[in-house]
Structure 1
């Protein structure tokens, strides 16, 4: 019995050591994720400026024209988008996508009404960026290009 226990001691010691290593690694990952989450939550994103809000309410063609006329507005839109992306967690992005205002409000610690307003703004900005980034293709140029190949 004693000899059997002595033979198993090395294996038991290795298993315990392996368990401790795994535990410390997982603990480090959890702490790191928590710190990143806390850092993300410290980022405060205000509502868009009046200028950007006015821009967001324009029809699509006027938006493109406004952006082509001033790089300042395009820069502000880009900065605002980056700030939103940095502040919102993947779960918050999903809640916005699914229009789950209750989940969003619980996650960011605000009222459902305010969460709905935030989600609407985020969706609007995403749509604007998609629309603005789409290049306008002239059908005659497209035909000419196709004829070349």
Structure 2
């Protein structure tokens, strides 16, 4: 199967259900595992995976103060991911009341792959999208170039 080019993804972004096995690891523990994720697909970005909140370990998502605004999805709120003594600060976010076009994201949580030990899709370890702002998951299933690298902010 040929990799998808992120330049073929639409703007505004599309949502796509995925049955891939998705795992998030922190502190040597799989804190989330699902085959029921949603992908947000946006021009120039690798997919961002949103996992059902119920597929995270109990107590792993700890709400924190602050929010951001997405022009497409609405207001995002944040979580620390916590396992024992290990804390990944503001490593996850959700849209508790997304705009109608993205209503399916309600009760789903995204994770910044660069802030946890590993994110894995169907056994392949994800590379985080560069830049520290975007939450894209780079796998062999997608090709770039990807927004986030130095000099790409204006794309």
Superposition TM-score tier, normalisation by shorter sequence: under 0.3
Bigger radius of gyration among the two: 1
Structure with the higher fraction of residues in helix conformation: 1
TM-score (norm 1): 0.24
Give the number of the structure whose residues are more often strand, by fraction: 2
Does 1 or 2 have the higher relative contact order (CA < 8 Å, sep 6+)? 2
How does the TM-score come out when normalised to structure 2? 0.23
